[in-house]
Amino acid sequence: MSARKIIIDTDPGQDDAVAILLALASPELDVLGITAVAGNVPLPLTTKNALIVCELAGREDVKVFAGCDAPLSRVLVTAEHVHGKTGLDGPQLPTPKMALQEAHAVDFIIETLRREPSGTVTLCPLGPLTNIATAFQRAPDIVERVQEIVLMGGAYFQVGNITPTAEFNIYVDPEAADIVVKSGVPIVVMPLDVTHKALTTRPRVEAFRDMGTEPGRMVAEWTDFFERFDKEKYGSEGAPLHDPCVIAYLLEPDLFQGREVNVMVETGSELTMGMTVADWWRVTDRAPNAMFMGEVDADGFFALLTDRIARL
Ligand code: BDR
Ligand code: CA
């Protein structure tokens, strides 16, 4: 079987970095390009970080594009309090040497979806949905050509991590998320309900360090850094490793369980801005528009992750 074609849309972020490494280590996936977006840190840093991660994987051939530097209609909210000033705080970071592509990320997304056979490209958003929504708005013809969107964002039972009701990626650009969930593209959502069950416990982090490889060491040091914040906040034995859940789903979908439900994004209320209102109990007649995940086999997920990162 030929490799599944994906575009990773991302705002690295330590967990984004691990997701990118997982994808680049997996022959089942053909990463057509990595598109950076403003989110955890401003765009110049998320772009630079994407390059750093490709080089770490020994994949200078991967095409990296810079995208939107601000949400559709809001001021950018960032998350240095979680990820540090660089977005990839923890280990000493190299200065990337590989070249950034000249095209804008949104143009790359549009051109790729028009060029590739319809229904063969999956979008993997790991940050705010600004690039994807901008592409859909600018080129509505590409929407029906998308095979699937598998995204990290939102929350239902876990409610919020940046406000009491909103998850960060959706909160930063709720208007973009609204466009995406209403697009009609088949969507799989990895919300906090799932990612908060994929915790970086000590033995799981040490398994990365014990690989004795540069990618293994970097993953362990990134995890050491960002888990400090979450451990204190949640009193948990590790931090949720959010974004790799998206890539793991593409590789081993049976690790996850969820429900086909209707999901809508709050864009009107200041109090609950960016909340993903998931009709988990099907108490409305709103048509399902997403597979909203709720469970993960965390041991299976980390086994997959360590197996693949060790190959780099
Ligand atoms: C999401 O927000 C970011 O901080 C992480 O990279 C992840 O994509 C979790 O809410
Ligand atoms: Ca992210």
- The pLDDT tens digits for 233-259 are 888 888 999 999 999 999 999 999 999
Contact 104, 147 (CB under 8 A): no
**Rounded Cα distance, 160 and 272, in Å:** 9
How much is the pLDDT for 233? 83
> In sequence order, what are the beta bridge partners of 121?
5, 146
**Rounded Cα distance, 12 and 26, in Å:** 19
Here the tokens at position 104 are: 């804008």
Q: Has residue 228 got a pLDDT over 90?
A: no
Q: How many residues comprise the chain?
A: 312
Q: Has residue 307 got a pLDDT over 80?
A: yes
242 is catalytic: yes
How much is the pLDDT for 97? 97
How much is the pLDDT for 231? 82
Cα–ligand 2 centroid distance for 99 (angstroms):
22
Residues lining ligand 1, Cβ inside 6 A: 13, 15-16, 40, 79, 82, 126-127, 152, 161, 167-169, 242-243
Q: What is the dihedral of CA 64, 69, 73, 78, to 10 degrees?
A: 100
> In sequence order, what are the beta bridge partners of 255?
none
How much is the pLDDT for 230? 80
Contact 32, 7 (CB under 8 A): yes
Q: Has residue 1 got a pLDDT over 80?
A: no
User: How large is the average pLDDT for residues 85-113?
Assistant: 98
- Report which ligand 1 atom has the smallest distance to the Cα of 79: 4
In this structure, which ligand is nearest to the CA of 193?
Answer: 1
Amino acid residing at 61 = D
- pLDDT tens-digit profile of 204-213? 999 999 999 9
**Rounded Cα distance, 93 and 82, in Å:** 17
- 207 or 227, which is more confident? 207
Nearest in space to 122 (alpha carbons), one of 100, 153, 151: 151
User: How large is the average pLDDT for residues 262-285?
Assistant: 98
Here the tokens at position 34 are: 């990595």
How much is the pLDDT for 260? 98
Here the tokens at position 39 are: 């989110």
- Report which ligand 1 atom has the smallest distance to the Cα of 162: 10
Whose CA is closest to atom 10 on ligand 1? 168
Cα–ligand 2 centroid distance for 152 (angstroms):
8
How much is the pLDDT for 237? 84
Mean pLDDT of the chain: 97
Cα–ligand 1 centroid distance for 2 (angstroms):
30
In this structure, which ligand is nearest to the CA of 81?
Answer: 1
Q: Has residue 52 got a pLDDT over 90?
A: yes
**Which of the four pLDDT bands, split at 50, 70 and 90, describes residue 232?**
confident
Pick from 152, 189, 226 the residue to mutate for probing ligand 1's pocket: most ligand atoms within 8 Å of its CB. Answer: 152
Nearest in space to 106 (alpha carbons), one of 240, 9, 3, 203: 9
How much is the pLDDT for 180? 99
- pLDDT tens-digit profile of 141-164? 999 999 999 999 999 999 999 999
